[in-house]
Amino acid sequence: MLGKLKIPIIILLTAVISSALTLTLIEPKSMTTASSDEKFEKLFSTYETIKKEYYQDTNDTKLVDGAINGMVESLDDPYSDYMNQKEAKSFDDNISSSFEGIGAEVQEIDGKIMIVSPIKGSPAEKAGLKPRDKILKVDNKSIEGMSVNEAVMLIRGEKGSTVDLVVERDGSGQMDFTITRDTIPLETVYFEVEDNVGKIQITKFSESTAEELKKAVEELESKNVKGLVLDLRQNPGGLMDQAILMSDMFVPKGKTIMQVENKDGSKEVYKAENDPITDLPSVVVVDKGTASAAEIMAAALYQSARIPVVGEKTFGKGTIQTAQTFNDSSSVKFTIAKWLTPNGEWIHEKGFKPQVKASLPEFASLPYLDPKKGMKPGDSGEEVKTAQKMLNALGYKEMKEEGFFDESTKSQVKAFQADHKLSASGELNEETIIKLMEALQKMIAENDVQIEKAIEVLKK
């Protein structure tokens, strides 16, 4: 291998391809060398037979790509994949440049493309996509059985263009989304002061995240905050080296940050090399959208620095991937190792459990309502029931949540419209639905029980 490898702990290719990776160039073996091995006789015999006997002309590139795809798919590993030139370029472009898309990390599970986490401020988040939503269709085309890369190429697109998604959500069934693509911001660290506590939200682990975090901590210390809340919710991960650097800022020098278990069972132990950059008391907040590199940091800070973790059980991504780039610029990425917590736990498909449980209220998980699909008295269905739950959560309670748009529902809609200076028609038109979802999101943000619990723990 040439050069220094930066390993992406989460290689969950995204609808915006937002996980970064510095590719290590590996010279591919020539076909002559490979064909001399008996193991490849059947492969090359098939290739030659198709070239000579198939009734139509064949494309050499497609045949070779198909063979590589088949080998990678036989691994039955959602984190290993083959990328053609176009896909590899899209992936590589996002190491250091901005990109356009919907802003959602995805992975393939059992032939379905599943949302790991929407990115903060992205169109996907604003539209209401949630972790573990399964994408069934893109622009009315089924993507069942597609690789992550194939699905991503359909979902991505230029800023301002729209994409229609059909997703399946546990407990809610199928849901339709129309999302306008946008430029996904490069910033990965956001911070503010609340109640004399510094809140730092880390949205992913890219090349600049460690430096962004360091600056955020320094800025908050200059404001004389009494503690820090590190918000890793909805963070799908990214580069392992960033997770190590960021954990090193809080874990005492010499303490273990993580372990890597190789194929042969040998282990590499990564330890903190520096003293912590701050002595402020800290708390970490996680949820089911916290994955991979974000899980590394959460586990390291708890097990090696005794920093409490608050929230919900994390996603559970415990493998490491790298990539091999070929001379034609195509690339194959594959899993090379497991990563373990400082205590030697492998959290893959199990997740990391917070020490203090805290969940957002039920209304925070209500499905998205398509503003273009209005509702009026006499309508019924899950969309009506969802609207009723939203109104109820906002204090308009004089109706049953049974999914039927009756007179009491109409009355509550009119009350909501009057309070928000909308035309009081009593129908859930596009303007009203948009305002309804905005009001709910504002209430969720203003009543963030997980952050409140974290601050409570911090002050004990």
4 a catalytic residue: no
- Catalytic residue of the set 242, 321, 331, 388: 321
Whole-angstrom CA distances from 182 to 106, 125, 127 are 17, 12, 12
Q: How far apart are CA 398 and CA 411, in angstroms?
A: 9
Tens digit of pLDDT at every position of the chain (460 positions): 323 334 444 333 333 333 323 222 333 333 344 445 677 888 899 999 999 999 999 999 899 999 999 999 999 998 898 888 877 776 665 544 356 788 887 877 777 888 887 877 789 988 889 888 999 999 999 988 888 878 888 898 888 999 999 999 887 788 899 999 998 767 789 999 988 999 999 988 988 899 999 999 999 999 999 999 999 998 988 889 999 999 999 999 999 999 999 999 999 999 999 999 999 999 999 999 999 999 999 999 999 999 999 999 999 999 998 888 888 888 888 999 999 999 999 999 999 999 999 999 988 888 888 888 899 999 999 999 999 999 999 999 999 999 999 999 999 999 999 999 999 999 999 999 999 999 998 998 888 999 999 999 998 8
- Please report, to the nearest 10 degrees, the dihedral formed by the alpha carbons of residues 73, 74, 76, 77 taken in order: -60
Radius of gyration of the CA atoms of the chain, in A: 24
Is this model's pTM higher than 0.95 or not? Answer: no
Residue of 414, 420, 424, 452 lying closest to 439 (CA atoms): 420
Q: How far apart are CA 412 and CA 410, in angstroms?
A: 5
425 a catalytic residue: no
Q: How far apart are CA 135 and CA 177, in angstroms?
A: 10
Q: How far apart are CA 377 and CA 133, in angstroms?
A: 30
Whole-angstrom CA distances from 159 to 101, 156, 166, 227, 361 are 7, 9, 20, 39, 33
Quick check: 229 and 455 in contact, CB under 8 A? yes
45 a catalytic residue: no
Q: How far apart are CA 448 and CA 439, in angstroms?
A: 14
Quick one: pLDDT at residue 79? 87
- Catalytic residue of the set 292, 304, 330, 388: 292
- Catalytic residue of the set 120, 126, 130, 317: 317
Whole-angstrom CA distances from 435 to 161, 285, 394, 439 are 23, 29, 12, 6
Domains of the chain: 1-99+186-357 (3.90.226.10), 100-184 (2.30.42.10), 370-446 (1.10.101.10)
Quick one: pLDDT at residue 16? 35
Q: How far apart are CA 387 and CA 434, in angstroms?
A: 11
End-to-end Cα distance, the chain: 50
